[in-house]
């Protein structure tokens, strides 16, 4: 969208190298997404079966909330492996029961 706005706004007041700066920013954001966010979104550390087997929970709508919050913790770098994920869920359940 920024590229479109930039191209539409070509004029005398436009900063030099604006297109290059926007393209560079895009590549940085894309790189961060590929290295940090995509791996989290493609591989869950725990499953619904883990919540049932490890924590003795019964299937319920709260599973979605647990997984969404766990995913956020992964993206933020707070949780990086299966054991950390289990500890995170244990803490989450204590705080939200």
In which band, very low, low, confident or very high, does the pLDDT at 12 lie, cut at 50, 70 and 90? low
In sequence order, the 6+-apart residues with CB closer than 8 A to the CB of 63 are: 48, 51, 57
- Span 43-59, pLDDT tens digits: 789 999 999 999 999 99
pLDDT in tens, 55-78: 999 998 899 999 999 999 988 889
Nearest to 89 by CA among 43, 38, 73: 73
On the 0-12 / 13-18 / 19+ scale of CB atoms within 10 A, 51 is buried
The answer to whether 87 touches 54, Cβ cutoff 8 Å, is no
CA distance 16 to 21: 9
Q: What's the confidence (pLDDT) of residue 6?
A: 57
pTM, two decimal places = 0.63
């Amino acid at each position: 969208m920024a590229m479109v706005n930039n191209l539409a706004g070509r004029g005398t007041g436009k900063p030099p190298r604006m297109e290059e700066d926007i393209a560079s920013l895009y590549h940085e954001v894309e790189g961060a997404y590929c290295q940090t966010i995509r791996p989290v979104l493609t591989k869950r550390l725990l499953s619904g079966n883990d919540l049932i087997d490890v924590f003795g929970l019964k299937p319920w709508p709260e599973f979605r909330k647990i997984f969404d919050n766990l995913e956020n913790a992964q993206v933020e770098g707070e949780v990086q492996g299966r054991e950390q994920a289990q500890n995170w869920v244990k803490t989450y359940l204590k705080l939200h029961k």
